[in-house]
Structure 1
Amino acid sequence: MRGGAGDTTAAEATRAQDNLYLSVNGEWAKTAEIPADRSTTGGFADLAVGVEERLLTDFAKFRQDLTQIRTPELQEAVKLNQLALDFKKRDEDGTRPADAMLNKLDKLQNWSDVNQHLADLIKDGTALPFSLGVEPDMKNTSVYLLYVDVPGLILPDKTYYAADNESGQQLLAVWSEMAIAVLQKFGYDETQATQLVDQAKAFDAAIVPFVKNSEELADYTKQYNPYEFADFLKLTPEIDFATAIPEILASTPEKIVLTQPKYFENLSKLVTPATFDQYKSWLIVNEILSTTGFLSEELRQLGGTYGRAISGQKEAANQEKHAYRLANGYFSDVVGQYYGATYFGDTARQDVTAMIKTMINVYKQRLANNAWLSQATKDKAIVKLNNIVIKVGYPDQVRAIYSQLKIKTAAEGGDLLNNILNLAKIFRLDNFAKIKQPVDRTRWAMPGNLVNACYDPSFNDITFPAAILQAPFYSLEQTNSQNYGGIGAVIAHEISHAFDNNGAKFDEQGNMVNWWTDADYTAFEERTQAMIQEFDGISYAGSQVNGKLVISENVADGGGLSCALEAAKEDDDVDLKAFFNNWAKVWRIKATNEYRQLLLSIDVHAPGPLRANVQAQNMDDFYQAFDVTEQDGMWLAPEDRVNIW
């Protein structure tokens, strides 16, 4: 039986031999309740709630006494928090804070007007039929390049636009109703609002044929398509990139990167005199909807309708959580450093760092004993392991950009929306300014208060924020076996991303270079194909898993679990049942049906119950630990078990 019971709503099994996930989490699932303002509860989500509650308490204290705040950057975060909480002023202001922005956009009468103001529109973050960002050159990560990307769609993914996708039709109806209602709050009558929304949807629909879906985007190395700047300009003559890009970068680039060339090869079909009215409607509707979270309570609630429909979330966050989340969003590194410095001890940091080094050594040993790789590829892989940069807890210093963020209080004539627009512009301009700077390898990919972890192939670094370093993932109170089944497997999972179907294409410096022999890479692809097939088509949440979409995370899960298992077995007091039980516990999740269906469409991770069950089925030690036989639900024939790392 592949994956045991793939769905937590299936008939319950209490024995690990039949369903490891339900044996650990079945009783919990009976009583667990999804908070009304969230779409999930479980391992990651519950820790996130705990972290947020702790910081909500701290922010409340700070608002009462600003002298308790240690740094000027955190003071500005609290000022933003205070401004966001002043709903009396927000309600009184209504839509007025958006007037200046919308008046500027209203003056755009044709594509020539757009081109004339293009640099300023880009700097302001205006909705355009493209987006720009500066990131390291994938093939030379010591320098930055400008990446030119496609615009976002109304629906969560291209696949939602298929004629037979009922969820897409339902969501588009919800979006339309919300958008029309919001526009009426901004002074448009129902006829005007309906016409704007219909035209916006027409422009959105015109984008769809030329962009990739989530499965295609999951192979992110294919988003690296460098073009000489002059050739790019020939490809897109309708947009005055020749003037705007040198202005925003304060230099003329020699080359840029197109993430999706097909879209830009067809941009001329979207940018014509005949399409301008559709574009302007798309622009106005998008810009108005983007302001609702920073205006009155009525607009905050109304403007969040579509987002809640996508995730199945029943209610908007209350005002206090909303105000905290805004401050945390724009001052993420600042809040994360405060959280880490306040609540994360050096003993835990040293212990986790030692565990990471142990995992890297386990990986080296497994590579040394690997039977399907040549020595040349093994040597290169070990060089990559030796160069992984470890980041645990939180950064000692926040980035300099945060010292530029200043909040204009209500007493100074400030309002929430225009503060937010100013903060976003500062971040945007800072990103563009990177083009002339050396790549900052000290930056942290995640703030300290985020319950997550990551590997970045362009930096060859792994980040473990303080917030994830607590039970059930990790605790000084848990046994080593439990910790290895939790954070140990997560650590090895992130290391494994260096050797998943994407990460394997990058070297020890983060450069996209082929360091494999042809025979070794062919053997690797055969194994990843087996992992795709193992997951592809498993029933879940009324749909099926897409094996290609989730392959990179599944490769990392398999490698992470096998390496953590090997490390755990080195302990004299190893308890493999405790190891696998904690592995299943960290993946516990209860989610709304809408959110589960969304994740199946766009998330590169397999559903939590399948991460717990299928990867355990691939481990021979699981069968020995629980005496699993051919008569049991978790049995998978040895020849069908997939192991890569």
Structure 2
Amino acid sequence: MVNTPKEVIDESLFKDDLYQAVNGNWLKDATIPDDHASTGGFMDLNDNIEKNLMNDFDNLPKDLSSFNEPFQEFAKLYQLAQNFDQRDTDGADPIKSFLNKIENLKDFSELNSQIKEWNLSGLPLPFNYSVDADMKNTQINALYAGTPGLFLPDRTYYENNNPAYDQLMPIFTNMVTSLLVLADYSGSEADEIIESAKKFDAAIAPNVKSAEESADYTKMYNPMDFTEFAKYSSSIDLTKFANDLFGKAPEQIIVTDPKYFEAINNIVNPDTFSDLKNWMLVKFLISTTGYLSEEFRQTGSTYSRALSGRKAASSQKKSAFYLASGVFGQTVGDYYAHKYFGPKAKADVEQMVRNMIKVYQQRLENNDWLGKATREKAVLKLSKLELHVGYPEKIDPIEYKYQVTPHGEGGTLFANVNQFIRITKEYRYAELGKPVDRTRWDMSANTVNAYYDPSKNMIVFPAAILQAPFYSLEQSASANYGGIGAVIAHEISHAFDNNGSQFDEFGNLNNWWTDEDRKSFDKLADKMIAEFDGIPFAGGKVNGKLTVSENIADAGGLSCANEAAKNEGDYDLKDFFINWARVWRMKATKEYMQLLLNIDVHAPHELRANVQVKNLDDFYTTFNVSSNDKMYLPEDKRVKIW
């Protein structure tokens, strides 16, 4: 491959640090934009897409009748979001009636009497109802009970005198105090409200799952008889709430975090009602700042900027773009894909996926630690894997329901988005008990990412990730396999990681393993945990349990992509490994790296690049790595699962 001057590779480092060999010179020159927490492969692609789309949308014709209806509404919302003069004039007025509604709430009886409208209005509650595929019958939508988010990123921030609490909570407190003053509360009122809200937040914290616990998402499935669930709370009428939303409460509800609901009476009761109100007030206020004046927007990003190390909020123009495209995600994705994604690339990538599936099938059939019955089930699951490349066939119907009300008719930016929240909630709630729409994508086509959906046994590769360095028709096949090929195989591997392996070929949570084979897998998963656990990084240490599923997928993806690359006539494994390291390049603030260490199920980018290659024999032969080199890992320590 030809490298640009900024991408000069230091081949002397291959044996000691592949990541630095490929990215070291880039890292020296790379600068993180003030409104970013990082720069590099994924972020650079995202920035380029953002630039192209914003340029396109700035030059739209006045007559939009040739565009589909959702796009016309998106353009209206984008213009409304950019009208900062009007937003500054409106100040806090768009949310005043909502703040008053929370303030005037007298007791639980009054809350229960209006709880449906409260929820549809986008006002917070100390739990939530949602509708999604039943994990054990993924053809049908079921009701789930979920827990509220904390003020800080994770429960662990509240434990063991974590210094991050002492660093971050004062920043959060000052931000909320400033926001309350902007919303016309006095300084003393603001101080009282935030301290009360923090008291309620602190009561929630010990009773919700940590990021590590949430990473085992099969444990979200805790079905209960609804009448038994309703007994959890003596203050909030859970049955009435469900009856109001759905006509009649379903017979069963799936509880994602039973520990929280077992404790809810101690958290939510008449003695804590005042704290609950203030907590709801703070939660609501924070959620609205991006739709209000520039002062609200800047102030409202203070905490998130401190958390990630960003020096500045995004520009007004960029914030308006992300706000509008966040609402009309599928619409904007559809526009992007049709303009920037070609059929040749789609066909080429689909062929790569088929090649990868062949490699996976051969590996499963020849697996030496699985029994025959489990191997056959695994091959069956692989054969039923659904593939989606580029963009969905249709825009999500919900986006056709969003109609923008102009400001002159009372349609402030907040009022419009709040109405869309109501429409979305009503639409999703109406799906309870109905068949699951298995064509719906969770990502828009302009998203630089990919995913595996275990409940649908489906892999999705949005158009946006199908670019260099991940993929290019101008790159060698080996380089493409080291980029998008490894990403493809990574997503396939999720079907067989510690979470995905517990779902069958139809996406149902179903144990298709023998006890002996599951024990063998768990031993290998423990080796993957040990390989990463405790590695020093950014002043902290990697949590092997938190990152195990993504590490298993990385290992399987890289290994299978390596084999697929070798199946090409003119493979070059040097190209393969170099591009694998290149796609993970990232320069980030220390704050952002520390945040990811605590909450991200992925290992740090640098370690994804360096640790996984050590498990592959071909890496050692490609770069002549020996036991004297830092990249060497003894054979008995190399983790090989798929």
What range describes the TM-score normalised by the shorter chain of this pair? over 0.9
Contact 1:13 1:19 (C-alpha < 8 Å) held by counterparts: no
Q: Work out which of the residue numbers 136, 147, 169 in structure 1 matches 2:133.
A: 136
- Decide which of 56, 59, 67 is 2:57's aligned counterpart: 59
Which residue in 1 is equivalent to 2:576? 579
SS in 2 for 1:136: strand
| Equivalent of residue 409 in structure 1, options 406, 411, 418 | 406
**CA separation of 1:90 and 1:166: change in aligned 2, threshold 3 A:** same
Distance 1:82 1:370, change over 3 A: same
What secondary structure is seen at the aligned counterpart in 2 of 1:127? coil
Residue matched to 1:23: 21
Matched, 1:247 2:248: no
Task: Give me the whole-angstrom Cα distance separating, in 2, the residues matched to 1:204 and 1:492.
Answer: 41
CA distance in 2, matches of 1:266, 1:450: 38
Give a deviation string over 1:2-49, Cα, whole Å, max 9, x none. xxxxxxxxxx99511000000000000001011111111011110000
Partner of 1:326: 323
| Residue 507 of structure 2 is aligned to residue 520 of structure 1 | no
SS of residue paired to 2:39: strand
Partners of 2:119 and 2:91 in 1: how far apart? 26
C-alpha contact 2:235 2:270 (8 A) present in aligned 1: no
Return the offset for 1:187: 1.1
Q: What SS does structure 2 have at the residue aligned with 1:329?
A: helix
- 1:463 counterpart SS class: strand
Letter in 2 for 1:50: N
The correspondence of residues 624-635 of structure 1 with structure 2, limited to 5 A, is 624-635=621-632
TM-fit CA distance, 1:251: 3.1
Deviation at 1:242, TM superposition (A): 1.1
Matches within 5 A, 1:209-608: 209-608=206-605
Letter in 1 for 2:416: N
1:492–1:559 Cα contact (<8 Å) kept: yes
Measured in 2, the distance between the counterparts of 1:549 and 1:508 equals 25
Give the structure-2-normalised TM-score.
Answer: 0.97
**Match of residue 9 from structure 1:** none
Residue 46 (structure 1) aligns with: 44
Match of 1:612 among 597, 609, 612: 609
Alpha carbons 2:54, 2:321 under 8 Å: kept: yes
* AA partner of residue 246 (structure 1): N
- Distance across 2 between alignment mates of 1:48 and 1:288: 29
The CA distance in 2 between the partners of 1:574 and 1:241, in whole Å, is 61
- Secondary structure of 1:101's aligned partner: helix
2:120 touches 2:421 (CA, 8 Å); kept in 1?
A: no
In structure 2, what residue type is equivalent to 1:360?
I
Distance (Å, rounded) in 2 between the aligned partners of 1:130 and 1:200: 16
What amino acid is aligned across from residue 75 of structure 1 in structure 2?
Q
Q: Deviations over 1:479-518 (max 9, x none)?
A: 1000000000000000000000000000000000000111
Summarize the Cα distance change of 1:540–1:408 in structure 2 as closer, same or farther, 3 Å threshold.
same
Shift of 1:436: 3.4
Deviation at 1:236, TM superposition (A): 2.3
Contact 1:311–1:592 (CA under 8 A) maintained in structure 2? yes
Aligned Cα root-mean-square deviation (Å): 1.1
Q: In structure 1, the residue corresponding to 2:13 is in which secondary structure? A: coil
| Contact 2:142-2:433 within 8 A present in 1 as well | no
Secondary structure of 1:601's partner? helix
- Deviation for aligned residue 1:106: 2.1
| Cα distance in 1 for residues equivalent to 2:128 and 2:63 | 38
Q: What letter corresponds to residue 48 of structure 1 in structure 2?
A: N
Check the 8 A contact 1:538/1:544 in 2, yes or no: yes
- Amino acid in the other structure paired with 1:319: Q
Deviation of the 1:122 alpha carbon:
1.7
Q: Residues 489 and 341 of structure 1: is their aligned pair in 2 closer, same or farther, counting only changes over 3 Å?
A: same
Q: Distance in 2 between matches of 1:564 and 1:292?
A: 44
1:389-429 Cα shifts (integer Å, max 9, x gaps): 10000012101111100111123331101111111111111
- Give the secondary-structure state (helix, strand or coil) at the position aligned to 1:434: coil
Written as runs of structure 1 = structure 2, the 5 A alignment for 1:103-122 is 103-122=100-119
Offset of residue 66 of structure 1: 4.0
Runs of 5+ consecutive residues of structure 1 not aligned to the other structure: 1-11
User: Runs of at least 4 residues of structure 1 off by over 2 A?
Assistant: 64-69, 235-238
Q: Are residue 161 (structure 1) and residue 158 (structure 2) matched?
A: yes
**Partners of 1:285 and 1:356 in 2: CA distance:** 47
5 Å-filtered alignment, 1:27-106, equals 27-62=25-60, 65-67=62-64, 70-106=67-103
Distance apart, 1:235 and its partner CA: 2.2
Q: How many positions carry a matched residue from both structures?
A: 633
Q: Describe the superposition over 1:112-164 as per-residue Cα deviations: whole angstroms up to 9, x where unpaired.
A: 21111111112222111101210100000011111101101000000111243
Most deviating of 343-352 and 546-555: 343-352
Deviations 1:333-391 (A, max 9, x none): 11001100111011111111111111111100011111111111111001101111100
Within 2, Cα distance between the matches of 1:69 and 1:559?
A: 46
Q: Deviation at 1:239?
A: 1.3
Equivalent position amino acid for 1:153 in 2: L
The answer to whether residue 606 in structure 2 is matched with residue 642 in structure 1 is no
